[in-house]
Homo-oligomer: A and B are copies of this chain.
Amino acid sequence: MALTVVGSIAFDAVRTPFGERERMLGGSASHFALAASFFTDVRVVGPVGEDFGPEEIGVLEAHGVSTADIERVEGGSTFFWRGHYDHDMNVAHTDDTRLNVFADFVPKLCDDNRDAEMLFLGNIQPELQRQVRAEARGARFVALDSMNLWIETAKDALLAVISEIDCVLLNDAELRMLTAEPNLVVAARAIMALGPSIVVAKRGEYGAALFTGDDTFAMPALPIAEVRDPTGAGDSFAGGFLGFLDGAGAHSPSNDELRQAMVRGSAMASFNVEDFGTDRVRRLDRDEIDARVAAFKDLTHF
């Protein structure tokens, strides 16, 4: 089993009420890959600059993540995001975004990564997602994430790639925006009418909901008293969700497998927010994940 992910690999500068970091490993592919690495073999595709060094590569490789398709652009700088959170940690304020090496990125997958059974198209330009999807000839299950920027500026390309994949993971506000349907159930059905058989609505501090042709599942997020940095939580969710499915060989997942995957996604997101950047997920072990799955059962069962 293997899971290829394409997405941003970044340096993040983040300020929250709990502190400030000037330069941390970040980006959708980094958060996704670390979370998924606890469940399956993960392979990252994406560009970095000269400033991306052995330390950052080492974080990924220490978790067994393949970095063969991390393309180091000579003379380039790594994607950079600066943001902050005020009192309300549910709202990210972007202060600066520099695409840098991502501006001219043309994805190229090595044979191993093209053959992976599962593919995650992280939040990047929809045309790039489409190119990667076309290259990934071995992929039996493909999921994507996106964002309001692409819904506003590249909606047709986004709808085109959505029609070619199996599973959409979006924030509930993005699902509503993309479909122009304020009701989440109706919005999920509208996405499924385009092709995907699975829609996951990420709801931040409220949890997540899963829609398939014949099942609806919803779960709250774990209430956490000290959310230190929510950056990357959605990508950690996706990593736990798809990593679990790939690790279980569930490339035509049953409703039950999808529910179990939702719990792993929620668990990884809950760890993500407990510390800055990737710090909490980096030092995680499998026993902690199992304990957190049990905590979600305690939280929700009656």
Residues of A within 8 A of B (CB): 87-89, 182-186, 189, 203, 205-207, 209, 211, 216-221, 223-227, 256, 259-260, 262-263, 297, 299-302
Let me know if B301 and A301 touch, CB within 8 A.
yes
* Cross-chain contact A182 with B89 (CB below 8 angstroms): yes
Closest approach, in angstroms, between the C-beta of A219 and any C-beta of chain B? 6
In the complex, chain B residues whose CB is within 8 Å of the CB of A211: 223
| Cβ A300 vs Cβ B217 within 8 A | yes
Known: A206-B207, A218-B220, A220-B207. A225 touches B300 (CB 8 A): no
Q: Are A185 and B302 CB-contacts (below 8 A) given A206-B203, A206-B207, A220-B220?
A: no
Assembly CA distance A160 to B227 (angstroms): 30
Q: Are B223 and A184 in contact (CB under 8 A)?
A: yes
Nearest Cβ on chain B to A181's Cβ, whole angstroms? 9
Q: Given contacts A203-B206, A216-B223, is CB(A302)–CB(B89) below 8 Å?
A: no
Closest to A216 in B: B223
Bound Cα distance from A90 to B221, whole angstroms: 20
Q: How far is the CB of A87 from chain B (nearest CB, A)?
A: 5
Flag if B300 contacts A89 (CB, 8 Å). Answer: no
A-B complex: 7 closest residue pairs judged by Cβ atoms: A218-B220, A206-B206, A185-B225, A259-B302, A185-B223, A87-B182, A88-B182
> What is the CB-to-nearest-CB distance from A86 to chain B, in angstroms, rounded to a whole number?
9
CB < 8 Å: which of B89, B209, B263, B301 contacts A183?
Answer: B89
Given the contacts A217-B299, A299-B218, A209 and B185 also touching, CB distance less than 8 Å: no
Give the complex CA separation of A182 and B18 in angstroms. 13
Give Cα A174 to B225, complex, Å: 18
Among A186, A203, A219: residue with most chain B CB under 10 A:
A219
Name the residue in A88, A216, A218 with the highest tally of chain B Cβ atoms < 10 Å from its Cβ: A218
Question: How far is it, in angstroms, between the C-alpha of A185 and the C-alpha of B299 when the chains are bound?
Answer: 13
Residues in B with CB closer than 8 Å to A87 are 182
Q: Once bound together, how far apart are the Cα atoms of A87 and B179, in whole Å?
A: 13
CB A262 to nearest CB in B, in angstroms, measures 7
